[in-house]
Every structure is written in structure tokens, then in C-alpha cells.
Amino acid sequence: MNDHWTNEEIEALRLVSTYEETANVAVRILDRMATNGHQVVQICGPMSTGGLGNFKKNMARFKQAIDSAFEHGLSIFNQLPFQDAIIRISSFDENGGGQYDMAILEVFYRKVFESGHVKKTLFLPDWQSSKGAKWERELVTRLGIPIEEYPIEWLE
């Protein structure tokens, strides 16, 4: 995972059964990250819709983007460890079937952004093709969280 996680949080994430519980784990981690003196940044972009058109490809690009941002010295809230729990809780279909579960956004991501700890967002290329990333951009705009485009050269 990363150095912001405790063993208790790793175990809690394995056991969560609701988006609210999942968000509570995220906020505990964000609380800790906010005390390290660095600005907490979140990367936003296509995961299950849009982007490269495939969940696995989008997740690989997301991981690369997070790793590269860490290498460039940013304090990134890594949401990827939450994906297994979100998939377990939702009716997620990796092949794009089924209806998008808005509770992922309305409960989990809303609580993350409304925590006040995310101080900047970086949006991946093709964010406009993602239902979730468009929702995130609207929310962070309303919350006054600065938005930047993810540096494309960091993905090369």
C-alpha cells in the first residue's frame, strides 16, 4: 500500500461492507496525511468508464500516474487500494455491463473530497470520457479544490 496505512486500516478495508465504512477508512488515512506538512493531492480520471475503454487498462494507467506523481514528490492520496472493496460492495461489471453505481461517488468520493484534506486534484487525460471523473470535477469545483491537468509527460 503505502506508508500512510496502518495494519488496522488494511484489515478494516478487507472487512468493510458499505461505501460509508470504506469512506471512513479513507478519511482516517487522509487525516494522517494532512499532518505530514505536505499538500494532499488526488488524481482523478477514468476507471470503470471512458479513458482507455477498458477497466484493466485504466487501472494500469492510474497506477502509473500515481507512481509517477509520487516520484515527482507529490503527496498522493492513493485510492487504488479501495477498488477491491468498492468492487466487492458494488454490482461492478468489469466488462462495462450493468448500471453505474452512483453511490460510489455520492458516498465514498464525496466524503473523501468533503473531508477538507485534498488540497489539489490532477485530472488524467480523457477525464471527460468518464462519468465518475466528470462528477468529481463538478464537485471539486463547487468545493473550491484547485484543479490541474495531469502532466502528460509523466505518463510517458
Buried b (16+ CB within 10 A) or exposed e, 22-36: bbebbbbbbeebbee
Q: Is 49 helix (H, G, I), strand (E, B) or coil?
A: coil
pLDDT recorded at residue 37? 84
The grid cell for 100 is: 453505474
Domain contains 64: yes
Give 77-136 pLDDT, tens digit per residue: 999 999 989 988 987 666 555 678 899 999 999 999 999 999 999 999 999 999 999 999
In a domain, 89, yes or no: yes
Residue 106 belongs to a domain with what CATH number?
A: 3.40.50.10400
* Stronger pLDDT, 5 or 18, i.e. the higher one: 18
Q: If you average pLDDT over residues 4-16, what whole number do you get?
A: 91
Q: What is the pLDDT of residue 53?
A: 87
Q: Is the pLDDT of residue 42 over 50?
A: yes
CA distances from 132 to 9, 26, 60, 153 (A): 25, 18, 17, 24
Residue 112 domain flag: yes
pLDDT computed for residue 95 by the predictor: 59
Residue 1 within a domain: no
Burial of 121 (0-12, 13-18, 19+ CB in 10 A): buried
**What pTM does this model have?**
0.91
Considering the domain boundaries, does residue 74 fall inside one? yes
Q: Decide if 110 is inside a domain.
A: yes
Phi and psi for 40 in degrees, rounded to 5? -80, 130
User: Does 2 map to a domain?
Assistant: no
Number of domains in the chain: 1
Higher pLDDT, 56 or 96: 56
In the three-class reduction of DSSP (H, G, I as helix; E, B as strand; rest coil), residue 111 is classed as helix
For residue 15, give its domain range.
7-155
Residues sharing a CB contact under 8 Å with residue 16, sequence separation 6 or more, in sequence order: 22, 25, 85, 89
Do the Cβ atoms of 104 and 86 come closer than 8 Å? yes
44 has a pLDDT exceeding 50: yes
